[in-house]
Structure 1
Amino acid sequence: MPGNEADMRDKPDWRPRYPGSGRLAGKVAIVTGGDSGIGRATAILFAREGAKVAISHLEEDEDAEFTAEQIRREGSEALIHRGDLGDPEVAKALVQETVGKWGRLDVLVNNAGEQHPDEEITDITVEQLQRTFQTNIFSMFYLVQAARPHLKKGAAIVNCTSVTMYKGSKELLDYSATKGAITAFTRSLSEALVADGIRVNAVAPGPIWTPLNPMGGASPEKLESFGEDTPMGRRGEPNEVAPAFLFLACEDSSYMSGQVLHPNGGTIVNG
Protein backbone atom coordinates (compact mmCIF):
# COMPACT_ATOMS: atom_id res chain seq x y z
CA MET A 1 0.00 0.00 0.00
CA PRO A 2 -0.66 2.42 -1.56
CA GLY A 3 0.86 0.74 -4.61
CA ASN A 4 2.67 1.96 -7.69
CA GLU A 5 0.95 4.23 -10.17
CA ALA A 6 3.46 3.06 -12.75
CA ASP A 7 1.88 -0.42 -12.58
CA MET A 8 -1.67 0.79 -13.26
CA ARG A 9 -3.08 0.17 -16.74
CA ASP A 10 -5.86 2.72 -16.27
CA LYS A 11 -3.67 5.58 -15.11
CA PRO A 12 -4.95 8.57 -13.13
CA ASP A 13 -4.85 12.00 -14.77
CA TRP A 14 -2.38 14.16 -12.85
CA ARG A 15 -1.59 16.79 -15.48
CA PRO A 16 -2.33 20.43 -14.57
CA ARG A 17 -5.19 21.71 -16.68
CA TYR A 18 -4.23 25.36 -17.06
CA PRO A 19 -1.17 27.61 -17.30
CA GLY A 20 0.49 28.80 -14.10
CA SER A 21 0.16 32.35 -12.81
CA GLY A 22 2.88 32.50 -10.16
CA ARG A 23 0.57 32.01 -7.20
CA LEU A 24 3.30 30.18 -5.26
CA ALA A 25 6.32 31.99 -6.68
CA GLY A 26 9.25 31.91 -4.27
CA LYS A 27 7.52 29.46 -1.92
CA VAL A 28 8.73 26.11 -0.61
CA ALA A 29 6.23 23.31 -0.11
CA ILE A 30 6.18 19.81 1.31
CA VAL A 31 3.62 17.40 -0.17
CA THR A 32 3.42 14.07 1.63
CA GLY A 33 2.43 11.10 -0.49
CA GLY A 34 3.60 13.19 -3.40
CA ASP A 35 4.77 10.27 -5.48
CA SER A 36 1.36 9.41 -6.95
CA GLY A 37 -2.34 10.17 -7.02
CA ILE A 38 -3.59 13.39 -5.49
CA GLY A 39 -0.15 14.11 -4.04
CA ARG A 40 1.52 13.88 -7.46
CA ALA A 41 -1.07 16.14 -9.09
CA THR A 42 -0.74 18.66 -6.27
CA ALA A 43 3.06 18.68 -6.27
CA ILE A 44 3.27 19.24 -10.01
CA LEU A 45 0.61 21.95 -9.94
CA PHE A 46 2.49 23.69 -7.13
CA ALA A 47 5.63 23.57 -9.25
CA ARG A 48 3.78 25.08 -12.20
CA GLU A 49 2.74 27.91 -9.88
CA GLY A 50 6.35 28.59 -8.90
CA ALA A 51 6.97 26.56 -5.73
CA LYS A 52 9.97 24.39 -4.96
CA VAL A 53 8.51 21.08 -3.84
CA ALA A 54 9.65 18.32 -1.51
CA ILE A 55 7.71 15.07 -1.86
CA SER A 56 7.68 12.18 0.54
CA HIS A 57 6.88 8.56 -0.25
CA LEU A 58 6.99 5.22 1.51
CA GLU A 59 8.75 2.91 -0.97
CA GLU A 60 7.41 3.67 -4.48
CA ASP A 61 10.73 4.87 -5.89
CA GLU A 62 9.76 4.80 -9.58
CA ASP A 63 6.65 6.88 -8.96
CA ALA A 64 8.57 9.38 -6.84
CA GLU A 65 11.29 9.82 -9.47
CA PHE A 66 8.66 10.39 -12.14
CA THR A 67 6.92 13.06 -10.07
CA ALA A 68 10.24 14.80 -9.35
CA GLU A 69 11.05 14.76 -13.06
CA GLN A 70 7.73 16.43 -13.85
CA ILE A 71 8.36 19.07 -11.17
CA ARG A 72 11.67 19.88 -12.83
CA ARG A 73 10.01 20.00 -16.25
CA GLU A 74 7.82 22.76 -14.85
CA GLY A 75 11.00 24.75 -14.30
CA SER A 76 11.16 24.20 -10.55
CA GLU A 77 13.23 22.15 -8.09
CA ALA A 78 12.35 18.88 -6.41
CA LEU A 79 13.41 16.92 -3.34
CA ILE A 80 12.49 13.28 -2.71
CA HIS A 81 12.31 11.88 0.81
CA ARG A 82 11.75 8.15 1.37
CA GLY A 83 10.40 6.80 4.64
CA ASP A 84 7.47 6.04 6.93
CA LEU A 85 6.03 9.31 8.24
CA GLY A 86 4.36 7.40 11.04
CA ASP A 87 7.82 7.50 12.59
CA PRO A 88 8.37 10.94 14.17
CA GLU A 89 12.07 10.85 13.32
CA VAL A 90 11.28 10.39 9.63
CA ALA A 91 8.84 13.29 9.73
CA LYS A 92 11.45 15.45 11.43
CA ALA A 93 14.09 14.47 8.87
CA LEU A 94 11.78 15.44 5.99
CA VAL A 95 11.32 18.93 7.39
CA GLN A 96 15.00 19.32 8.22
CA GLU A 97 16.10 18.22 4.75
CA THR A 98 13.63 20.58 3.08
CA VAL A 99 14.63 23.59 5.16
CA GLY A 100 18.29 22.66 4.83
CA LYS A 101 18.03 22.63 1.05
CA TRP A 102 15.96 25.76 0.49
CA GLY A 103 16.15 27.70 3.75
CA ARG A 104 12.43 28.02 4.39
CA LEU A 105 9.06 26.26 4.51
CA ASP A 106 5.85 28.00 3.44
CA VAL A 107 3.32 25.26 2.71
CA LEU A 108 2.77 21.86 4.32
CA VAL A 109 0.36 19.50 2.57
CA ASN A 110 -0.47 16.49 4.73
CA ASN A 111 -1.77 14.11 2.08
CA ALA A 112 -0.20 10.68 2.75
CA GLY A 113 -2.66 8.02 3.83
CA GLU A 114 -3.70 4.38 3.65
CA GLN A 115 -6.92 2.41 3.83
CA HIS A 116 -7.94 -1.25 4.14
CA PRO A 117 -11.48 -2.45 3.39
CA ASP A 118 -13.14 -4.84 5.87
CA GLU A 119 -16.66 -6.26 5.82
CA GLU A 120 -16.92 -6.51 9.61
CA ILE A 121 -15.42 -4.48 12.44
CA THR A 122 -14.19 -7.77 13.87
CA ASP A 123 -12.03 -8.21 10.76
CA ILE A 124 -9.92 -5.17 11.69
CA THR A 125 -6.77 -6.40 13.37
CA VAL A 126 -4.96 -4.52 16.09
CA GLU A 127 -2.00 -4.11 13.75
CA GLN A 128 -4.15 -2.66 10.95
CA LEU A 129 -5.96 -0.29 13.30
CA GLN A 130 -2.74 1.04 14.76
CA ARG A 131 -1.10 1.26 11.34
CA THR A 132 -3.98 3.23 9.80
CA PHE A 133 -4.01 5.77 12.62
CA GLN A 134 -0.22 5.98 12.60
CA THR A 135 -0.09 6.78 8.89
CA ASN A 136 -3.19 8.94 8.55
CA ILE A 137 -3.27 11.13 11.66
CA PHE A 138 -0.21 10.57 13.86
CA SER A 139 2.04 11.55 10.94
CA MET A 140 0.24 14.90 10.69
CA PHE A 141 1.00 15.66 14.33
CA TYR A 142 4.63 14.70 13.84
CA LEU A 143 5.02 16.81 10.70
CA VAL A 144 3.36 19.90 12.12
CA GLN A 145 5.45 19.61 15.27
CA ALA A 146 8.60 19.46 13.16
CA ALA A 147 7.48 22.21 10.78
CA ARG A 148 6.10 24.65 13.33
CA PRO A 149 9.39 26.48 14.11
CA HIS A 150 9.84 27.19 10.39
CA LEU A 151 6.32 28.37 9.56
CA LYS A 152 6.08 32.15 9.50
CA LYS A 153 3.21 34.57 8.99
CA GLY A 154 1.58 33.79 5.65
CA ALA A 155 2.34 30.07 5.79
CA ALA A 156 -0.37 27.50 5.08
CA ILE A 157 -1.12 23.95 6.17
CA VAL A 158 -3.54 21.89 4.07
CA ASN A 159 -4.68 18.47 5.32
CA CYS A 160 -6.38 15.72 3.34
CA THR A 161 -9.55 14.41 4.97
CA SER A 162 -12.31 12.56 3.06
CA VAL A 163 -15.97 12.48 2.15
CA THR A 164 -16.11 9.32 4.28
CA MET A 165 -15.71 11.53 7.34
CA TYR A 166 -19.05 13.16 6.50
CA LYS A 167 -21.18 10.33 5.11
CA GLY A 168 -19.41 7.30 6.60
CA SER A 169 -18.21 4.12 4.92
CA LYS A 170 -19.27 0.72 6.20
CA GLU A 171 -16.19 -1.03 4.80
CA LEU A 172 -13.67 1.65 5.85
CA LEU A 173 -14.38 2.04 9.56
CA ASP A 174 -10.83 2.71 10.72
CA TYR A 175 -9.98 4.90 7.73
CA SER A 176 -13.14 6.99 8.18
CA ALA A 177 -12.37 7.39 11.87
CA THR A 178 -8.94 8.80 11.05
CA LYS A 179 -10.52 11.23 8.60
CA GLY A 180 -12.84 12.46 11.34
CA ALA A 181 -9.80 13.00 13.50
CA ILE A 182 -8.10 14.92 10.68
CA THR A 183 -11.06 17.27 10.31
CA ALA A 184 -11.10 17.96 14.05
CA PHE A 185 -7.32 18.38 13.97
CA THR A 186 -7.64 20.89 11.13
CA ARG A 187 -10.23 23.01 12.93
CA SER A 188 -8.39 22.92 16.25
CA LEU A 189 -4.97 23.62 14.73
CA SER A 190 -6.46 26.55 12.87
CA GLU A 191 -7.62 28.03 16.15
CA ALA A 192 -4.16 27.50 17.60
CA LEU A 193 -2.21 29.11 14.74
CA VAL A 194 -4.48 31.72 13.17
CA ALA A 195 -3.28 34.50 15.49
CA ASP A 196 0.25 33.93 14.16
CA GLY A 197 -0.93 34.41 10.58
CA ILE A 198 -0.73 30.71 9.70
CA ARG A 199 -3.82 29.34 7.98
CA VAL A 200 -4.93 25.69 8.35
CA ASN A 201 -7.54 24.18 6.05
CA ALA A 202 -8.42 20.81 4.54
CA VAL A 203 -9.70 19.09 1.41
CA ALA A 204 -12.21 16.22 1.57
CA PRO A 205 -12.04 14.32 -1.73
CA GLY A 206 -14.69 11.90 -2.86
CA PRO A 207 -13.94 8.79 -4.97
CA ILE A 208 -10.74 9.78 -6.76
CA TRP A 209 -8.87 7.34 -9.01
CA THR A 210 -5.46 6.76 -7.42
CA PRO A 211 -3.28 3.69 -6.73
CA LEU A 212 -4.79 3.56 -3.23
CA ASN A 213 -8.03 2.03 -4.52
CA PRO A 214 -7.20 -0.69 -7.09
CA MET A 215 -4.15 -1.89 -5.17
CA GLY A 216 -5.89 -3.03 -2.02
CA GLY A 217 -7.76 0.01 -0.77
CA ALA A 218 -11.15 -0.95 -2.16
CA SER A 219 -13.02 -4.21 -2.57
CA PRO A 220 -13.41 -5.71 -6.08
CA GLU A 221 -17.16 -5.05 -5.89
CA LYS A 222 -16.62 -1.36 -5.17
CA LEU A 223 -14.07 -1.02 -7.96
CA GLU A 224 -16.59 -2.28 -10.53
CA SER A 225 -18.70 0.85 -10.09
CA PHE A 226 -16.16 3.19 -8.50
CA GLY A 227 -17.59 6.70 -8.26
CA GLU A 228 -20.86 5.89 -10.01
CA ASP A 229 -22.87 6.54 -6.84
CA THR A 230 -21.95 10.24 -6.84
CA PRO A 231 -24.43 12.78 -8.27
CA MET A 232 -22.05 13.27 -11.21
CA GLY A 233 -22.09 9.52 -11.79
CA ARG A 234 -18.35 9.09 -12.21
CA ARG A 235 -15.04 8.91 -10.38
CA GLY A 236 -12.82 11.96 -10.04
CA GLU A 237 -9.26 12.39 -11.24
CA PRO A 238 -6.34 13.73 -9.16
CA ASN A 239 -6.05 16.87 -11.30
CA GLU A 240 -9.63 17.72 -10.35
CA VAL A 241 -8.62 17.79 -6.68
CA ALA A 242 -5.19 19.44 -6.83
CA PRO A 243 -6.63 22.94 -7.54
CA ALA A 244 -8.43 22.81 -4.19
CA PHE A 245 -5.07 22.29 -2.46
CA LEU A 246 -3.56 25.12 -4.49
CA PHE A 247 -6.37 27.50 -3.59
CA LEU A 248 -5.93 26.81 0.13
CA ALA A 249 -2.13 27.03 -0.11
CA CYS A 250 -1.98 30.42 -1.82
CA GLU A 251 -3.21 33.93 -1.08
CA ASP A 252 -6.42 33.36 -3.03
CA SER A 253 -7.81 31.92 0.23
CA SER A 254 -6.31 34.58 2.51
CA TYR A 255 -9.60 34.98 4.44
CA MET A 256 -10.13 31.24 5.04
CA SER A 257 -8.92 29.10 7.91
CA GLY A 258 -10.39 26.07 9.63
CA GLN A 259 -12.42 25.23 6.52
CA VAL A 260 -12.86 22.15 4.31
CA LEU A 261 -13.33 22.05 0.52
CA HIS A 262 -15.28 19.19 -1.05
CA PRO A 263 -14.27 17.99 -4.54
CA ASN A 264 -16.49 14.93 -4.31
CA GLY A 265 -18.60 14.67 -7.45
CA GLY A 266 -21.53 16.66 -6.11
CA THR A 267 -22.26 14.82 -2.85
CA ILE A 268 -23.80 17.36 -0.47
CA VAL A 269 -22.32 17.29 3.04
CA ASN A 270 -22.46 19.64 5.98
CA GLY A 271 -19.21 21.32 7.03
Structure 2
Amino acid sequence: MQDRQTAVITGSASGVGAATALQLAGRGWNVVINYSRSADEAQATAQACRDAGAEALVVQADVADDAQCRALVDAAVGRWGRLDALVNNAGTSVFGDAARWDALDAQAFQHILGVNTVGTFQMVRAAVPHLKAVQGCIVNVSSVAGALGIGSSMPYIASKGAMNAMTLHLARTLAPEIRVNAVCPGLITSRWFARGIGEEGYEKVRRAYEAEVPLGRACTPEDVAEAIVWLVAGARTVTGELLLLDSGTHLGRAARPADPRPR
Protein backbone atom coordinates (compact mmCIF):
# COMPACT_ATOMS: atom_id res chain seq x y z
CA MET A 1 0.00 0.00 0.00
CA GLN A 2 1.29 3.44 -0.93
CA ASP A 3 1.63 6.17 1.68
CA ARG A 4 -0.16 8.71 -0.51
CA GLN A 5 -3.89 8.99 0.02
CA THR A 6 -6.12 8.20 -2.95
CA ALA A 7 -9.44 9.65 -4.10
CA VAL A 8 -11.94 8.59 -6.74
CA ILE A 9 -13.89 11.56 -8.10
CA THR A 10 -16.73 10.62 -10.42
CA GLY A 11 -17.57 12.96 -13.27
CA SER A 12 -14.21 14.72 -12.95
CA ALA A 13 -13.30 15.55 -16.54
CA SER A 14 -14.40 19.17 -16.04
CA GLY A 15 -16.25 21.50 -13.72
CA VAL A 16 -16.52 20.78 -10.01
CA GLY A 17 -15.03 17.30 -10.34
CA ALA A 18 -11.95 18.55 -12.17
CA ALA A 19 -11.47 21.40 -9.69
CA THR A 20 -11.72 18.94 -6.80
CA ALA A 21 -9.20 16.57 -8.36
CA LEU A 22 -6.75 19.40 -8.96
CA GLN A 23 -7.05 20.73 -5.41
CA LEU A 24 -6.52 17.26 -3.93
CA ALA A 25 -3.58 16.70 -6.28
CA GLY A 26 -2.04 19.91 -4.98
CA ARG A 27 -2.28 18.44 -1.48
CA GLY A 28 -0.38 15.32 -2.55
CA TRP A 29 -3.28 12.95 -3.17
CA ASN A 30 -3.40 10.38 -5.96
CA VAL A 31 -6.58 10.91 -7.98
CA VAL A 32 -8.78 8.89 -10.31
CA ILE A 33 -10.30 11.03 -13.04
CA ASN A 34 -13.57 9.50 -14.18
CA TYR A 35 -15.55 10.38 -17.29
CA SER A 36 -18.34 8.89 -19.37
CA ARG A 37 -17.95 10.81 -22.65
CA SER A 38 -15.38 13.62 -22.35
CA ALA A 39 -12.15 11.70 -22.92
CA ASP A 40 -10.04 14.66 -24.06
CA GLU A 41 -11.09 16.81 -21.11
CA ALA A 42 -10.41 13.94 -18.71
CA GLN A 43 -6.90 13.51 -20.06
CA ALA A 44 -6.26 17.25 -19.77
CA THR A 45 -7.46 17.26 -16.16
CA ALA A 46 -5.27 14.25 -15.36
CA GLN A 47 -2.24 16.00 -16.85
CA ALA A 48 -2.94 19.11 -14.79
CA CYS A 49 -3.01 16.90 -11.68
CA ARG A 50 0.29 15.32 -12.66
CA ASP A 51 1.77 18.76 -13.21
CA ALA A 52 0.70 19.53 -9.63
CA GLY A 53 2.83 16.60 -8.45
CA ALA A 54 0.21 13.87 -8.13
CA GLU A 55 -0.28 10.54 -9.80
CA ALA A 56 -3.49 10.43 -11.82
CA LEU A 57 -5.40 7.60 -13.45
CA VAL A 58 -8.11 8.15 -16.08
CA VAL A 59 -11.00 5.67 -16.08
CA GLN A 60 -14.09 5.71 -18.27
CA ALA A 61 -17.19 4.51 -16.43
CA ASP A 62 -20.92 5.19 -16.37
CA VAL A 63 -21.97 5.24 -12.73
CA ALA A 64 -25.47 4.10 -13.67
CA ASP A 65 -23.91 0.71 -14.46
CA ASP A 66 -23.03 -1.29 -11.35
CA ALA A 67 -20.30 -3.35 -13.00
CA GLN A 68 -18.60 -0.16 -14.19
CA CYS A 69 -18.78 1.31 -10.67
CA ARG A 70 -17.01 -1.75 -9.29
CA ALA A 71 -14.41 -1.58 -12.05
CA LEU A 72 -13.77 2.09 -11.29
CA VAL A 73 -13.06 1.38 -7.63
CA ASP A 74 -11.00 -1.69 -8.50
CA ALA A 75 -8.84 0.40 -10.84
CA ALA A 76 -7.91 2.76 -8.01
CA VAL A 77 -7.19 0.00 -5.51
CA GLY A 78 -5.33 -2.05 -8.10
CA ARG A 79 -3.08 0.90 -8.92
CA TRP A 80 -2.36 2.23 -5.43
CA GLY A 81 -3.57 -0.42 -2.99
CA ARG A 82 -5.93 1.89 -1.12
CA LEU A 83 -8.94 4.17 -1.36
CA ASP A 84 -9.28 7.01 1.14
CA ALA A 85 -12.03 9.18 -0.34
CA LEU A 86 -14.94 8.84 -2.72
CA VAL A 87 -16.44 12.00 -4.20
CA ASN A 88 -19.74 11.29 -5.92
CA ASN A 89 -19.86 14.17 -8.36
CA ALA A 90 -21.24 12.59 -11.55
CA GLY A 91 -24.68 13.93 -12.30
CA THR A 92 -27.19 14.70 -15.00
CA SER A 93 -30.45 16.58 -15.44
CA VAL A 94 -33.15 17.55 -17.87
CA PHE A 95 -34.27 21.15 -18.07
CA GLY A 96 -38.03 21.50 -17.79
CA ASP A 97 -40.26 23.19 -15.25
CA ALA A 98 -43.90 22.56 -14.41
CA ALA A 99 -44.91 24.42 -17.58
CA ARG A 100 -43.10 21.81 -19.69
CA TRP A 101 -44.51 18.50 -18.49
CA ASP A 102 -43.48 16.74 -21.69
CA ALA A 103 -39.85 16.92 -20.56
CA LEU A 104 -40.70 15.09 -17.34
CA ASP A 105 -41.69 11.61 -18.47
CA ALA A 106 -40.83 8.33 -16.75
CA GLN A 107 -37.75 7.83 -18.92
CA ALA A 108 -36.32 11.18 -17.78
CA PHE A 109 -36.94 10.27 -14.14
CA GLN A 110 -35.35 6.85 -14.51
CA HIS A 111 -32.28 8.17 -16.29
CA ILE A 112 -31.65 10.98 -13.82
CA LEU A 113 -32.28 8.82 -10.76
CA GLY A 114 -30.13 6.11 -12.32
CA VAL A 115 -27.11 8.42 -12.48
CA ASN A 116 -27.62 10.78 -9.56
CA THR A 117 -29.10 8.45 -6.94
CA VAL A 118 -28.59 4.82 -7.89
CA GLY A 119 -25.15 5.63 -9.27
CA THR A 120 -24.16 7.20 -5.96
CA PHE A 121 -25.36 4.12 -4.07
CA GLN A 122 -23.50 1.77 -6.40
CA MET A 123 -20.27 3.71 -6.02
CA VAL A 124 -20.63 3.71 -2.23
CA ARG A 125 -21.30 -0.03 -2.16
CA ALA A 126 -18.20 -0.73 -4.24
CA ALA A 127 -15.99 1.59 -2.18
CA VAL A 128 -17.07 0.86 1.40
CA PRO A 129 -14.79 -2.14 2.12
CA HIS A 130 -11.73 -0.16 1.03
CA LEU A 131 -12.76 3.03 2.81
CA LYS A 132 -13.35 1.14 6.04
CA ALA A 133 -9.83 -0.24 5.90
CA VAL A 134 -8.36 3.27 6.16
CA GLN A 135 -11.21 5.10 7.95
CA GLY A 136 -11.90 7.12 4.84
CA CYS A 137 -14.73 9.39 3.80
CA ILE A 138 -17.46 10.00 1.24
CA VAL A 139 -18.62 13.37 -0.09
CA ASN A 140 -21.76 13.46 -2.20
CA VAL A 141 -22.15 16.43 -4.53
CA SER A 142 -25.82 17.22 -4.14
CA SER A 143 -27.62 20.51 -4.75
CA VAL A 144 -29.69 23.17 -3.10
CA ALA A 145 -32.41 21.57 -5.25
CA GLY A 146 -32.58 18.63 -2.86
CA ALA A 147 -32.79 20.86 0.20
CA LEU A 148 -35.17 23.59 -0.99
CA GLY A 149 -37.15 21.92 -3.78
CA ILE A 150 -35.89 24.28 -6.50
CA GLY A 151 -33.83 23.39 -9.53
CA SER A 152 -33.63 22.57 -13.22
CA SER A 153 -36.44 20.00 -13.19
CA MET A 154 -38.58 17.83 -10.95
CA PRO A 155 -36.58 14.63 -11.63
CA TYR A 156 -33.37 16.45 -10.70
CA ILE A 157 -34.90 17.85 -7.52
CA ALA A 158 -36.16 14.38 -6.57
CA SER A 159 -32.78 12.77 -7.27
CA LYS A 160 -30.92 15.25 -5.08
CA GLY A 161 -33.48 15.02 -2.30
CA ALA A 162 -32.94 11.26 -2.33
CA MET A 163 -29.18 11.79 -2.30
CA ASN A 164 -29.48 14.00 0.78
CA ALA A 165 -31.58 11.42 2.62
CA MET A 166 -29.14 8.70 1.63
CA THR A 167 -26.24 10.82 2.92
CA LEU A 168 -27.84 11.00 6.36
CA HIS A 169 -28.57 7.27 6.40
CA LEU A 170 -25.05 6.35 5.32
CA ALA A 171 -23.50 8.71 7.87
CA ARG A 172 -25.31 6.79 10.61
CA THR A 173 -24.72 3.30 9.32
CA LEU A 174 -21.08 3.69 8.27
CA ALA A 175 -19.90 5.47 11.43
CA PRO A 176 -17.44 5.40 13.07
CA GLU A 177 -15.21 4.04 10.28
CA ILE A 178 -16.40 6.30 7.43
CA ARG A 179 -17.53 9.91 7.47
CA VAL A 180 -20.29 10.77 4.96
CA ASN A 181 -21.27 14.33 4.03
CA ALA A 182 -22.81 16.22 1.13
CA VAL A 183 -22.32 19.64 -0.39
CA CYS A 184 -25.40 21.39 -1.77
CA PRO A 185 -24.41 24.18 -4.16
CA GLY A 186 -26.74 26.73 -5.65
CA LEU A 187 -26.02 28.07 -9.12
CA ILE A 188 -22.52 27.14 -10.31
CA THR A 189 -20.72 29.13 -12.99
CA SER A 190 -19.79 26.12 -15.09
CA ARG A 191 -20.48 25.04 -18.67
CA TRP A 192 -22.85 22.28 -17.48
CA PHE A 193 -25.73 24.68 -16.87
CA ALA A 194 -24.98 26.81 -19.92
CA ARG A 195 -25.06 23.72 -22.11
CA GLY A 196 -28.46 22.80 -20.71
CA ILE A 197 -30.29 26.07 -21.38
CA GLY A 198 -27.96 27.90 -23.76
CA GLU A 199 -25.57 30.78 -23.12
CA GLU A 200 -28.23 33.50 -23.36
CA GLY A 201 -30.59 31.70 -21.00
CA TYR A 202 -27.76 30.92 -18.59
CA GLU A 203 -26.65 34.56 -18.42
CA LYS A 204 -30.20 35.65 -17.71
CA VAL A 205 -30.52 33.11 -14.90
CA ARG A 206 -27.12 34.03 -13.45
CA ARG A 207 -27.89 37.75 -13.38
CA ALA A 208 -31.26 37.15 -11.74
CA TYR A 209 -29.71 34.77 -9.20
CA GLU A 210 -26.94 37.16 -8.23
CA ALA A 211 -29.44 40.01 -7.89
CA GLU A 212 -31.56 37.96 -5.48
CA VAL A 213 -29.18 36.03 -3.19
CA PRO A 214 -27.73 37.69 -0.07
CA LEU A 215 -24.08 37.25 -1.08
CA GLY A 216 -24.69 38.50 -4.60
CA ARG A 217 -22.63 35.85 -6.36
CA ALA A 218 -22.89 32.34 -7.73
CA CYS A 219 -20.47 29.53 -6.86
CA THR A 220 -17.50 28.80 -9.04
CA PRO A 221 -16.38 25.18 -9.45
CA GLU A 222 -13.39 26.09 -7.29
CA ASP A 223 -15.66 27.34 -4.50
CA VAL A 224 -17.44 23.99 -4.40
CA ALA A 225 -14.16 22.09 -4.64
CA GLU A 226 -12.77 23.96 -1.62
CA ALA A 227 -15.70 22.78 0.48
CA ILE A 228 -15.36 19.21 -0.77
CA VAL A 229 -11.64 19.17 -0.03
CA TRP A 230 -12.26 20.48 3.48
CA LEU A 231 -14.73 17.66 4.10
CA VAL A 232 -12.25 15.14 2.67
CA ALA A 233 -8.96 16.30 4.13
CA GLY A 234 -10.13 18.01 7.32
CA ALA A 235 -13.44 18.06 9.17
CA ARG A 236 -12.48 15.03 11.25
CA THR A 237 -15.53 15.38 13.52
CA VAL A 238 -18.05 16.20 10.78
CA THR A 239 -20.44 13.59 9.43
CA GLY A 240 -24.04 13.67 8.23
CA GLU A 241 -23.83 17.29 7.14
CA LEU A 242 -25.67 18.74 4.14
CA LEU A 243 -23.50 21.79 3.57
CA LEU A 244 -25.39 24.55 1.74
CA LEU A 245 -23.16 26.47 -0.69
CA ASP A 246 -25.98 28.64 -1.97
CA SER A 247 -24.83 32.23 -1.31
CA GLY A 248 -27.66 32.48 1.21
CA THR A 249 -30.48 31.34 -1.10
CA HIS A 250 -32.12 29.52 1.83
CA LEU A 251 -32.41 32.85 3.68
CA GLY A 252 -34.72 34.31 1.07
CA ARG A 253 -34.38 37.39 -1.09
CA ALA A 254 -31.55 39.74 -0.24
CA ALA A 255 -32.49 42.93 1.57
CA ARG A 256 -30.52 45.31 -0.61
CA PRO A 257 -30.14 48.92 0.54
CA ALA A 258 -32.08 51.43 -1.50
CA ASP A 259 -30.16 53.21 -4.25
CA PRO A 260 -29.44 56.70 -2.80
CA ARG A 261 -28.94 58.32 -6.21
CA PRO A 262 -31.70 60.70 -7.35
CA ARG A 263 -33.98 59.38 -10.05
Shorter-chain TM-score bucket reads 0.7 to 0.9
Report % sequence identity. 36
Counterpart residue identity of residue 231, structure 2: L
What does residue 233 of structure 1 align with? 216
SS state of the match for residue 255, structure 1?
A: coil
Listed as ranges, the matches of 1:1-271 within 5 Å are: 26-120=4-98, 122-123=101-102, 124-151=104-131, 152-169=133-150, 171-195=152-176, 197-216=177-196, 221-226=201-206, 227-228=209-210, 229-250=212-233, 252-268=234-250
- Matches of 1:170 and 1:249 in 2, distance apart? 26
What CA deviation, in whole Å up to 9, does each residue of 1:36-57 have, x standing for no partner? 1110100000000110000211
- Equivalents in 1 of 2:182, 2:220: separation in Å? 18
Q: Which residue of 2 aligns with 1:17?
A: none
> Is this contact kept in 1: 2:22–2:52, CA < 8 A?
yes
The alpha carbon displacement at 1:167 in A equals 2.0
Q: Deviations over 1:125-162 (max 9, x none)?
A: 22211110001011111111111121124201000111
Larger radius of gyration: 2
Higher helix share: 2
Q: Deviations over 1:42-82 (max 9, x none)?
A: 00000001100002111101110111011001100111111
Q: 1:174 to 1:145 in 2, by over 3 A?
A: same
Instruction: Return 5+ residue gaps in structure 2 as ranges.
Output: 252-263
How far the C-alpha of 1:170 sits from its partner, in A, is: 6.2
Amino acid at match of 2:136: A
Amino acid at match of 1:241: V
TM-score (normalised: structure 1) = 0.85
Change (3 A) 1:127 1:246: same
Question: What is the rounded CA distance, in whole Å, between the counterparts of 1:259 and 1:166 in structure 2?
Answer: 12
Seen in structure 2, the aligned counterparts of structure 1 residues 172 and 244 have a Cα distance that, compared at 3 Å, is same
How many equivalent pairs are there? 244
CA 1:76–1:171: 2 relative to 1, 3 Å: closer
| 4+ runs deviating over 4 angstroms | 217-220
Shift of 1:265: 1.5
Alpha-carbon separation, structure 2, partners of 1:94 and 1:221: 35
**In 2 relative to 1, CA 170–37 (structure 1 residues): closer, same or farther, beyond 3 Å?**
closer
Rounded Cα–Cα distance in structure 1 between residues aligned with 2:203 and 2:158: 22
Structure 2 distance, partners of 1:218, 1:160, is 23
Segments of 5+ residues of structure 1 without an aligned counterpart are 1-24
Equivalent pair of 2:28/2:54 in contact (CA under 8 Å): yes
Partner Cα separation in structure 1 for residue 34 and residue 4 of structure 2: 20
Superposition deviation, residue 211 in structure 1: 2.2
Residue pair 1:28, 1:52 contacting (<8 A) in 2 also: yes
| Aligned-partner residue type, residue 106 of structure 2 | V
Q: Secondary structure at 1:268's aligned position in 2? A: helix
